[in-house]
Amino acid sequence: MISNIVQPKLWTGSFVKICLVNFFIFVNFHALLPTFPFFVTYLGGDAVAIGIATALFSIASIVSRPFVGWLVDTKGRCAILILGLTGMTLIPMGYFVSAGIAMAILLRTLHGAFHAASSNASSTWVADIIPHSRMGEGLGMYGLSMAISTAAAPALGLALMNIWGFRPLFAAAALSALIALLVGVSIKDKKYKLSTEPLHFNELFERMSIPASVTQFFFMMAYGVVEVYVAIYATANHLPSGGIYFICIAVATVLTRILLGRAVDKYGEAPMVYTGNVAIVAGILLLVLAHNIPCYVLSALLLGYSFGAIQPSLQTMAMHAVAPERRGAASSTFFVAFDFGIALGGFVAGVLVKHLGYDYMFLLIAVTGVLSLIYYYIFGRNHRSSLNPHGHRSET
């Protein structure tokens, strides 16, 4: 007997709104990412000051995420989203009146903490809104909002800065956070269970999410390094601009999530993790070993596929088997690994560039893609958090 199973609805008003919130959160983030170093220089800072500002933003985000996760679980998604977005609205306005580099760096550090609060609350809330049977598809579509902002916001920020200066740039960043705040408070779907657990350090991280998070950590070491260094590498090797590379990444990421959005729910995360890690290693090898336009574009497309396949798959793995009142901790665990992978990868790459040059740096950093695959094969594919239909689901 064949039964027609009706799939629960994914594209509800609440889901569309939380995707818009995520989009505007990352417009605020990505519009300032390539432009803030210019602002530090404008204030009289040097490369060291730029590095300090960049590092403190990441450190504030990483350190605050576990505590934000507890607050999201105990105080509610909406409350922490409002707190974070209020800060993300006010901080860019504070850049207007920065008395000097020290004040700008302090504000930038606070910006990292408010960004962690906003993004963590949003990524936890969306897991409550998405029907459980469509979690992989839903998180893939949710991630599209980040991919689109990644492609558009840096170019928008640079254009505003170059044409009108820093004040319109900061005003636009503040406006994007304000729009996210207004959309966020209009979401009526608050059907989540809050935790009553007191703050304990050993409960700030969700153990069920560790295999997915560590796999993502190794992957982001490689992916983040390419994001940071590809533009300067392309210029040195007479390749098209880094902007072209990022556009190709964004196109491939969007197409991957549209075409393979339901694959995780049907087949588990394993095919995405295996092929995504192979793709990023192949993309880096093409970038380094073949300095021509077709291979340059193919490298970007492979990286776009890798991110589009791996990030939502592992985020689904990190979230789907966790109790609703622990989703904030699960989200923070995943994104601490995400942020730390980018930060550590950037540091290691800087040391390697100084001593070995860009080519050897990229070749060595590609090894982290192999480590991601190996770790997942040993510890992730049969873990209880795995969605793989034939996995043993035994916690390793």
pLDDT tens for 29-83 read 888 877 887 888 888 877 677 767 777 888 888 889 888 888 888 888 889 999 9
Assigned domain for 275 exists:
yes
Residue 19 has what pLDDT?
94
206: containing domain: 202-396
Yes or no: say if 65 and 330 are a contact pair by the CB < 8 Å rule. no
Measure Cα distances from 151 to 147, 207, 347 in Å: 6, 33, 24
| Integer Cα distance of 318 and 338 in angstroms | 12
Does residue 294 register a pLDDT over 70? yes
Does residue 345 register a pLDDT over 80? yes
Residues 350 and 236 in one domain: yes
Q: Of the segments 11-15, 66-70, 348-352, which one has the largest average pLDDT value?
A: 11-15
For 163-211, the DSSP string reads: HH-HHHHHHHHHHHHHHHHHHHHT------PPP-----GGGSS-GGGHH
CB burial of 345-355 (b: ≥16 within 10 Å; e: otherwise) equals: bbebbeebbee
- Which tops the pLDDT comparison, 3 or 235? 235
- Which tops the pLDDT comparison, 57 or 365? 365
For the domain that residue 390 is a member of, what is the CATH number?
1.20.1250.20
Residue 42 has what pLDDT?
85
Phi, psi angles (nearest 5°) of residue 265: -65, -30
Return the structure tokens found at 330. Answer: 């699960």
| Integer Cα distance of 345 and 366 in angstroms | 11
Assigned domain for 38 exists:
yes
Q: H helices within 268-357, ranges in order?
A: 270-289, 293-319, 327-356
Residues 37 and 122 in one domain: yes
Residues 161 and 232 in one domain: no
Residues 267 and 355 in one domain: yes
Does residue 166 register a pLDDT over 60? yes
Residue 173 has what pLDDT?
94
| Integer Cα distance of 43 and 331 in angstroms | 36
Span 158-187, mean pLDDT? 92
Span 103-110, mean pLDDT? 90
Does residue 204 register a pLDDT over 80? no
| Integer Cα distance of 358 and 347 in angstroms | 14
Token look-up 């960004």 returns 115
Yes or no: say if 108 and 36 are a contact pair by the CB < 8 Å rule. yes
- Dihedral, CA of residue 142, residue 127, residue 388 and residue 249, to nearest 10: 20
Assigned domain for 192 exists:
no
Span 315-337, mean pLDDT? 85
Residues 209 and 300 in one domain: yes
pLDDT class for 396, splitting at 50, 70, 90? Answer: very low
Does residue 390 register a pLDDT over 70? no
Distance of CA 26 to the CA centre of its chain: 9
Going by the DSSP 8-state scheme, the letter that residue 130 receives in this structure is S
| Integer Cα distance of 118 and 175 in angstroms | 15
Residues 299 and 338 in one domain: yes
Residue 73 has what pLDDT?
84
- Environment class of 341 (CB within 10 Å of its CB; exposed 0-12, middle 13-18, buried 19+): buried
Overall size of the chain counted in residues: 396
What global pTM score does this model have?
Answer: 0.80
Assigned domain for 193 exists:
no
- Which tops the pLDDT comparison, 196 or 169? 169
Residues 127 and 214 in one domain: no
pLDDT class for 180, splitting at 50, 70, 90? Answer: very high
Measure Cα distances from 257 to 42, 254, 309, 311 in Å: 39, 5, 7, 10
Residue 393 has what pLDDT?
46
Mean pLDDT, the chain, whole residue set: 86
Does residue 203 register a pLDDT over 80? no
Residues 27 and 111 in one domain: yes
pLDDT class for 288, splitting at 50, 70, 90? Answer: very high
Residues 163 and 226 in one domain: no
Residue 206 has what pLDDT?
85
Assigned domain for 239 exists:
yes
| Integer Cα distance of 356 and 349 in angstroms | 10
Query: Other C-beta atoms within 10 Å of 269: how many?
Result: 32
Residue 47 has what pLDDT?
65
| Integer Cα distance of 181 and 175 in angstroms | 10
Assigned domain for 5 exists:
no
- Which tops the pLDDT comparison, 201 or 331? 331
Span 164-171, mean pLDDT? 92
Q: Among 211, 220, 382, which residue's Cα sits nearest to residue 306? A: 220
Residues 243 and 130 in one domain: no
Token look-up 């009553």 returns 196
Percent of the chain with pLDDT over 70: 93
Measure Cα distances from 191 to 83, 126, 177, 360, 366 in Å: 20, 11, 24, 51, 42
